[in-house]
Amino acid sequence: MADRVFTVLDLINLDLKEHNSLNLRCIGGRKGLGRLIDIPDLNRPMGAIMGFFEDFAYQRIQLFGRGEAAYLRQLENEGRTDTITQMFSHSMPCCIFTHNHSPHHNFFEIAEQAQCPILQTDLGSADFSARIMRILSRIFSPRQVVHGVLAEVYGLGILIQGDSGVGKSETALELIHRGHRLVADDVVEINCIYGNTLMGAGANKIIGHHMEIRGPGIINITHLFGVRAIRDRKEVQLVVELEEWDSDKNYDRLGAEDHTIELLGVNIPKLTIPVKPGRNIPIIIETAAMNERLKSMGYHSAREFNKNILKWIESDAARSVFFGQDDII
């Protein structure tokens, strides 16, 4: 189930561009545009229009392709509308016709009486199905709003978190100066896609690529640095926690142990960076991003270092034992 209300009208009004565009238009049943879409899935209703209603998935969006449209023409020629009437007795969200197909006038009349929206697209069934499933999976995905800054560093999506005033926005600003990109500042909305991928974006599109810097105040990253310095969405692949340096705390100096944080049921690598005067946090984050990419390719620097140290200790101990022995001969 969705965590927010989503209607057929919302589906038509989605601001989608290029390869995501659904090219939808309403050709009938406009009174039903307020119907809710509760399930992010499609149903091909060939069985229903043939009169087989057992396990009819009427709660889903009904997709009519070439096969369904051809069978509807056959029903029109035979003057049969009983199965169509029975189909519309179920509360379907909407019916969508692909390939610019349009049903016969009897179909429209029954749909109007049932107040079920009839939509049309010029896309083919396979292409439309792939697009709408990708869109619905994002809309209906579990989501969480977190406090922090999301930036893309060397192609890696890094969520920078920490207490207020620790320097999250200032760190992100320096990263932008160094050629990296801002996704969102202060409030980040994270969606779990396909159960294992976390996509982050600004929670508010109006203030999305603005940043609050103590001193100058609110700045517009797009106007100051251009469109190259921003992006709308990015997968969250690393969480960096900034915290004030605590001299009594023992910080991990080797990095041999991998730490993770759970967001929406997905474990994401986490790195804690202590902040104090003289530490160049943006450069540390850049290094962490490159190191994380090395880990994803199977190379773990800290573990390799430990392994080499152990080999050196073992070989040195073996030499000491060998050369320390008395000459028996």
Reduced to 3 states (helix: H, G, I; strand: E, B; else coil), residue 172 is helix
CA–CA dist 271, 313 (Å, integer): 29
Q: What six digits make up the tokens of 147?
A: 């406090």
CA–CA dist 126, 123 (Å, integer): 8
- CB contact burial 147-169 (16+ within 10 A = b; e otherwise): ebbbbbbeebbbbbbbeeebbbb
Instruction: List CB contacts of 285: < 8 A, sequence separation 6 or more.
Output: 153, 158, 160, 171, 175, 240, 273
With contact defined as beta carbons under 8 Å apart, do 75 and 81 qualify? yes
List the one residue out of 135, 130, 72 whose CA is nearest residue 101.
Answer: 72
Give the count of beta carbons closer than 10 Å to the beta carbon of residue 261. Answer: 15
Summarize the chain as % helix, strand, coil (round to 5).
35, 25, 35
- Token look-up 């050629």 returns 179
**Residues assigned a catalytic role:** 147, 168, 186, 253
